[in-house]
Amino acid sequence: MSSIYEKYNLKQVINASGRMTILGVSTPRPEVVEAVNTGMNHYFEMKDLVNKTGEYIAKLLGVEGATVVACASAGIAQSIAAVLVKDDDWLLENLHVTPVENNEIVLPKGHNVNFGAPVGTMVALGGGKLVEAGYANECSPEQLAAAITPRTAAILYIKSHHCVQKSMLNVKQAAEVARSHNLPLIVDAAAEEDLQRYYHDGGDLVIYSGAKAIEGPTSGLVIGKKQYVEWVKRQAYGIGRAMKVGKEGILGLTCAIEHYLTATKESGQQMVDKMTPFIESLNTLKGVSARVVWDAAGRDIARTEIKFDEAATGIATGDLVQALKQGEYAIYFRGYKANEGIIEADVRSVSAQQLDIIYRRIKELTAGETA
């Protein structure tokens, strides 16, 4: 039997960019795949499944409430809708045709990012109106508070490497501002690895991707204060209907969380050990220099930063990034700094053999050779 790649004429991928949506995010462990398969092959009363798995996850994490959603982006939209609609049955079914006066969602300006889609689009889907606080490179608690008006419905905090990191208030400080104004704090922690920290820091609703750090199926997790989580669950009969999660996703993510909490995780130092021979090889190439860098958002993730002297390599870094996708393997890097002649390799999903393939491909391209 032909492989999936052959059947659909797909190119094999080497994922040195990390757990990214454009590459399918992650590869779940066998136990999670089994849970997904079980879900697909059995029937359930869906409301009961949502409630019982939510209670189970909440107990595992030591939080008041939890529910599985389709993805982290859906979690943002449904959380915004939840704090606007609450228990209002009319608004639940008529959110986008009924004016909601107090629908402003305040977030630091440096958090208004595009993570593959704009944060503002998710807020608008939930019926909210985005209001930026502070500046692109600065937001203090005082600046966050200054953006709050009688029309403010919630504060939104994006914990992500995509966001500006310097001169930004932290989650605890945002929670203090929210409490002092009697507002809920929604934290998007999609790729974060600590499933309890931001809840304990004061998040009323905290959103995670099920497929990133947790390595579950395509899904999302919303945890938080019980009342707010119940309002999120109500959105299954509102905007959440268009982004519903299946039984297989619910059971798969619940299983993934169980294993995630007990599994030994690869440490940053182990990542350094894996990438050291790769870095040493890259540093033998003309016009190429490589070193270890650490995750900008503070996670225990080490990556390889590769810097190109374009005059010496004879190829623009942006062109090199595209060329790496066109060979026998589609090789993907983190290319956020390609305009500065820099790319990063995330080695969590890459084997030593694949790192050698990447090295040889970079060598070919910087030496002017073809694949």
In this structure, which long-range contacts are made by residues 95-104, counting pairs with CB atoms below 8 Å and at least 24 apart in sequence?
Answer: 95/127, 95/238, 95/239, 96/127, 100/127, 101/151, 102/150, 102/151, 102/152, 102/153, 103/127, 103/128, 103/129, 103/151, 103/153, 104/128, 104/129, 104/130, 104/131, 104/149, 104/151, 104/152, 104/153
Specify the length of the chain in residues: 371
Tokens in use for 330?
């589609």
Q: What is the model's pLDDT at position 182? A: 97
Domains of the chain (ranges, CATH numbers): 30-262 (3.40.640.10), 266-366 (3.90.1150.180)
Q: What is the model's pLDDT at position 137? A: 92
Q: What digits encode the pLDDT tens for the residues 304-354?
A: 999 999 889 888 888 988 988 888 889 888 877 888 888 888 888 888 899
Positions of the chain with pLDDT under 50? 1, 370-371
- CA–CA distance, 247 with 44 (Å, rounded to integer): 8
Q: What is the model's pLDDT at position 129? A: 96
Q: What is the model's pLDDT at position 371? A: 45
Q: What is the model's pLDDT at position 369? A: 55
Q: What is the model's pLDDT at position 370? A: 47
Q: What is the model's pLDDT at position 285? A: 92
Give 79-148 as a DSSP string.
HHHHHHHTT-HHHHHHTTTS--SS-EEEEEGGG--BSSSBHHHHHHHTT-EEEEESBTTBB-HHHHHHT-
Q: What is the model's pLDDT at position 1? A: 34
